[in-house]
Chain A
Amino acid sequence: MTALKEELKRQIIEVLNLEDITPADIQDEEVLFGEGLGLDSIDALELIVLMDKTYGIKLSDPKKGRDIFQSVETMAAYISENRTK
Chain B
Amino acid sequence: MLEKITIQKSCTIEQHRIVVDDMLVWSSATDMPFSDFAKDAFHHLDIDYPKFYKMDALSKLAFLAAEYILRGEDKDELALVLANKSGSLDTDIKHQESIQDTENYYPRPATFVYTLANICAGEISIRHGLQTENAFFIAEEFPEETIFAYADYLLQSNKAKRVLCGWVEYFQEDYRALFYIF
For chain A, the bracket of interface size reads 10 to 19
**Interchain CB contact under 8 A, A42 and B53:** no
**Interchain CB contact under 8 A, B50 and A52:** no
User: Which residues of chain A from 47 to 63 have any CB-CB distance to chain B below 8 Å in the complex?
Assistant: 49, 52-53
Q: How many A-B residue pairs lie within 8 Å, measured between CB atoms?
A: 28
**Interchain CB contact under 8 A, B53 and A46:** no
- CB-defined contacts of B99 to chain A, threshold 8 Å: none
- CB-defined contacts of A45 to chain B, threshold 8 Å: 109-110
- For residue B113, CB closer than 8 A to chain A, the reply is yes
* Interface-facing stretch out of A2-10, A15-23, A28-36, A65-73: A15-23
**Interchain CB contact under 8 A, A52 and B109:** no
- Select A20's contact among B50, B106, B107, beta carbons within 8 Å: B50
Known: A42-B109, A45-B110. 6 other contacts (CB 8 A): A15-B110, A18-B50, A19-B53, A38-B50, A42-B113, A49-B107
